[in-house]
Amino acid sequence: MGNTFGHLFRVTTFGESHGAAVGVVIDGCPPKLALAPSDVQVELDRRRPGQSRITTQRQETDRVEFLSGVHDGLTLGTPIAMLVRNEDTRATDYEEMRTKFRPSHADFTYQAKFGIRAWEGGGRASARETVGRVAAGAVARKFLAERCKVEIVAWVAQVHDVDAHIDPTHVERGQVESNMARCPDSAAAAQMIERIDRARKDGDSLGGVVEAVARGVPPGWGEPVFDKLEADLAKAMLSLPAAKGFESGSGFAGTRLRGSEHNDPFYNAGGRVRTRTNHSGGIQGGISNGEDILIRVAFKPTATILREQHTVDVQGNDTTLKPRGRHDPCVLPRAVPIVEAMMALVLCDHWLRHRGQTGTGS
């Protein structure tokens, strides 16, 4: 029912925002990968709430527990189950949402589909669900780094009307983590923080764009026609809470170029085929070409804002709602590790599919 992602490297997330716990089961991770809780915890710490004044003030330690699939520090090749317990839940903050639908949230649509919903914090539609994605992505990231030398870095490229000026070929994680906005352009980051802070104080929210790059992906990953690499990346990113747009390579900007300007000329670089430009974003015909894979993900302003809004109740009566609770005034800074995780899941899955077809991982 839409809770599982991937073909060979399959992940199933579970849990609600204010339930007992959230987590993930990974099926298809190859055996003998060295894996410790610390490998996962470092990524969960980047995603967890309460990191700074521009994120939700919900306080969760997000300590990961391994339940299965790892023995003596090595993966067994069997399902890996990871659990993170919810600690700082305040169901009373959402009492009004028991009978009223928050505008632009999933309250109404979940009710329409299932006839029942976990109204506390949005339940399964909450960004709390992404804990499992990040935990699974940490495993995929380690596998890609150790077996394939693939590196994935994401950053905030835009918040509201503030754009960063960044060369994606040279962004490093240290630059991204150098400020609470997770933007490697320090001047733009200062403006982003100011905009988010202002929206928070106004009881409002902002959207923006996360950009990501995968370096070291060899040519040949991806499937023709329906399972193109960018198609799977698009599905992965658009499955994220608040995601509303996806681009790969030049994206929509490429529509303003002629073919003679947009084509990426090939050349021989010491026996290796390269392209002189990378408008394709590392993917041609749905298959990686060996260049950096570049994507952008657009996130809408957080749906839950601390302002009174018009809505309806569960009987369809007009009413108003002023939500309470703790919410991100802008999802972008915490979305960075989530985008990285989903990119890692897609690439790890396609590496396994490529190995299964060709007998080689590169």
In angstroms, the Cα distances linking 15 to 42, 287, 308 are: 21, 34, 29
Q: Are 63 and 40 in contact (CB under 8 A)?
A: no
pTM above 0.85, yes or no: yes
Domains of the chain: 4-358 (3.60.150.10)
Diameter of the chain measured on Cα atoms: 70
Closest CA relative to residue 219, chosen from 165, 148, 279: 148
DSSP state for residue 354 in the 8-state scheme = H
Confidence at residue 70, expressed as pLDDT on a 0 to 100 scale? 98
DSSP secondary structure letters along 134-149 = HHHHHHHHHHIIIII-
Q: What is the DSSP letter of 206?
A: B
pLDDT in tens, 228-281: 999 999 999 999 999 999 999 999 999 999 999 999 999 999 999 999 999 999
- Give residue 142's Cα distance to chain centre: 17
Bridge partners for 47 per DSSP = none
Q: What SS3 state is found at 157?
A: strand
What pLDDT, in 10s, does the model give residues 269-328?
Answer: 999 999 999 999 999 999 999 999 999 999 999 998 989 999 999 999 999 998 776 778
Q: Which residues of 263-294 are buried (b: 16+ CB within 10 A; e: fewer)?
A: ebeeeeeeeeeebeebbbbbbbebbbbbbbbb
pLDDT greater than 60 at residue 33: yes
